[in-house]
Structure 1
Amino acid sequence: MNPLEALHLSLPLIQAPMAGVSTPDMAAAVSNAGALGSIAVGAVEAPAAREMIASVRARTARPFNVNLFVHSPAQARPDVEARWLTALKPLFAQFGGAPPATLREIYRSFAVDDAMLGLVVEARPAVVSFHFGLPEAWRIATLKAAGCILFASVTSLAEALAARAAGIDMLVAQGFEAGGHRGVFDPDAPDDRLGAMALTRLLVEQAGLPVIAAGGIMDGRGVRAALDLGAVAAQLGTAFIGCPESSADAAYRAALFGPAAAHTAMTRAISGRPARCLPNRFVGWGAETDLTPPDYPIAYDAGKALHQLAKAHGESGYGAQWAGQGAPLARALPAAELVDRIRTEMDEGEY
């Protein structure tokens, strides 16, 4: 049985949980419109996550997804971090500042976050999804015992088979086109960079679990194509950035609806992990440096500090403006209206 059937969605559509973009307002609007809304709590501590979940519940009685980061905890590498901070000095200096003296692991991985586990078990969201890897078996068993349906982002058949063996219910097939952080379990391992079409078909045929297609899908035609490939649903992230409910700032929105949308790039410079975003000054700097960044999310501590300093001086070119290759198709519509538009596009009979 497709676990999504238990959620009684009227549209096989999932709004991707993009940290820093998706909000409780967006998740609730999407769920109320008949799809599956999502929030990402990997970038906050358990108390803030509790508030976010409560905020969604105050706005909808429908199911929604809570997304967690399951990266390997960062390893401090003082020499690497010192070289990185030295290289960043000229970028900070142009705004009259200096990089932090030291860098911190700003996000705690769910792999070791017992407080977050306790909160999620208490909240019992309909869906819990994992990005960057899989938690230990006992954590998965605890969430399943709480009645949560479990999704995991995967980028290869090997990752998909590992997710199946771990007890995951559904796979999110993240193609290389997708915006935001690449969900590879090991960012230092070889990456075949499979596109959403090839990966979805491969997993449908060989992974043995229901598949949700993700990457480059922006409208009803894309959703229908994903279903034709054998996926049970499609996950869209970049499509929702332009919605008024998203937390993207004015500069991010301007870049999304400008020429930069046609030239997204994968970079490690911002956070330490490969992530697809709109090209900007930081991405350009990262392409020119041959330095290895500190581990995720230690590198992100520096990236966020640089962005805040630059933004205070009117420069938005150092922010994390995540977007996938479908960005030129983005639409500035309220989330519920976008869901309805996608539904109409799927039903137009042009497939």
Structure 2
Amino acid sequence: MAVKKALTEILGIKYPILLAPMAGVSTPELAATVSNAGGLGSLGLGSSSVEKAKSAIIATQKLTKKPFQVNFFCHEPQEVNVEAASKWIDFLKPVFVQFDSEPKQNLTKIYKSFLEDPQMLELVLELKPDVISFHFGVPPQSTVEKLKRTGIITMASVTQLSEAQIAVARGIDILIAQGVEAGGHRGIFSTEVDPALTTKDLVALLQSKLGADEHVPIVAAGGVMSGQDIRELIDLGACGAQLGTAFVQCKESAASVNYKQSLLGQNKDGATQITSSVSGRPARALISSWHTKVDVPGRPPHPGYPYTYDVGKQLNELASSQESVSPDRFNAHWAGSNVRRIRDLDANKLMQTLIREMS
């Protein structure tokens, strides 16, 4: 029987701490700081064009010689349901009216899937980042093999055993076990099948069913905020942990000032809730008017990801521009369930704190 390598040895890092690849929040500076401190930095490129992705990868490679991951959305592409889109827009119109505006009538595919963007694969094969990870699914085995032949380590977010089995069958090297506590969008392959397992339960399940047989390292993600959390999850069978919300407030992140202040202001109650109304996929965020004014009984079905996100971003931007005069907040401030434990530290100090707490 082959001996399972340590996660740190596989990834070429000193500590089993991974930065979650948060699209719209991650920056080359944040990724490089985490990598230079001994963890695995990350770039969330799921919402980036090929040109922007290239720029971000090159910028990060200039800031660190250490490994970091690049992450892409791997959802199954779908065409917009015109009828559902029309009903959803009509449903949101009264909300737009209160901001003296109207939603646009045609929703577009604002984000491409990695599955339908061969140029993005070519870019990754050209620039050869150390690690690539996938969210919302995994690419075909042939694509995974191309990446691995180039020396790139592959990872995928999974939220249940069936997804993990698919990822392992296609040759993925490392599983990110993402529990329901996670902030933002979990990597659910199909929104129709969501068991909503906690991080601990998911780690235990995958360790029991896959850990001993497949020799696939399992990284815990979702609600992880401290070194003690990391140690506890490792004791349960995880090989390391991935943290997102803990790093959003860092000065190196691209989160807005309002976003960071909102996170830090949640230290007392930390109220978060999952909604699919913003983007079309379930995502955990700070409680806002999305949860109280849109997610109401009887709301119509949304048109799905990423079309729902098109109108969601319109409303988010509109409300943000008028938040000083409006009592309703339609910000999508993604946050994990343990956001109340967030700490106001820069990325390097947070890494040093996590490392100290782990030991």
SS at match of 1:83: helix
Instruction: Tell me the equivalent position of 1:299.
Output: 308
CA offsets 1:30-76 (integer angstroms, 9 cap, x no match): 00110000011110111110001011111111100000100111321
* 2:355 equivalent to 1:340: no
- Looking at structure 2, the residues matched to 81 and 6 of structure 1 have their Cα atoms a distance apart, in angstroms, of 45
CA offsets 1:146-178 (integer angstroms, 9 cap, x no match): 111101100111111111001000100000101
* 2:248 equivalent to 1:241: yes
- Looking at structure 2, the residues matched to 219 and 109 of structure 1 have their Cα atoms a distance apart, in angstroms, of 32
- Looking at structure 2, the residues matched to 136 and 118 of structure 1 have their Cα atoms a distance apart, in angstroms, of 15
Instruction: Tell me the equivalent position of 1:99.
Output: 103
- Looking at structure 1, the residues matched to 54 and 158 of structure 2 have their Cα atoms a distance apart, in angstroms, of 26
Q: Which residue identity does 2:205 align to in structure 1?
A: L
5 Å matches for 1:135-214? 135-189=139-193, 191-207=194-210, 208=214, 209-214=216-221
CA offsets 1:193-217 (integer angstroms, 9 cap, x no match): 1100011011112123110001111
CA offsets 1:219-251 (integer angstroms, 9 cap, x no match): 110010111011111000011011111111122
TM-score, with structure 1 as normaliser? 0.96
Alpha carbons 2:91, 2:299 under 8 Å: kept: no
C-alpha displacement at 1:8, in angstroms? 2.9
SS at match of 1:58: helix
C-alpha displacement at 1:314, in angstroms? 2.9
Instruction: Tell me the equivalent position of 2:55.
Output: 51
Instruction: Tell me the equivalent position of 2:225.
Output: 218
| RMSD of equivalent CA atoms | 1.4
* 2:294 equivalent to 1:282: no
Alpha carbons 1:25, 1:245 under 8 Å: kept: yes
Instruction: Tell me the equivalent position of 1:114.
Output: 118
5 Å matches for 1:126-137? 126-137=130-141
- Looking at structure 2, the residues matched to 300 and 166 of structure 1 have their Cα atoms a distance apart, in angstroms, of 29
Q: Which residue identity does 1:342 align to in structure 2?
A: L
SS at match of 2:69: strand
Q: Which residue identity does 1:196 align to in structure 2?
A: T
- Looking at structure 1, the residues matched to 231 and 289 of structure 2 have their Cα atoms a distance apart, in angstroms, of 36
Q: Which residue identity does 1:267 align to in structure 2?
A: T
- Looking at structure 2, the residues matched to 74 and 246 of structure 1 have their Cα atoms a distance apart, in angstroms, of 31
* 2:319 equivalent to 1:310: yes
SS at match of 1:299: helix
For structure 2, the residue ranges without an aligned partner over 5 or more in a row are none
Moved more, 65-74 or 276-285: 276-285
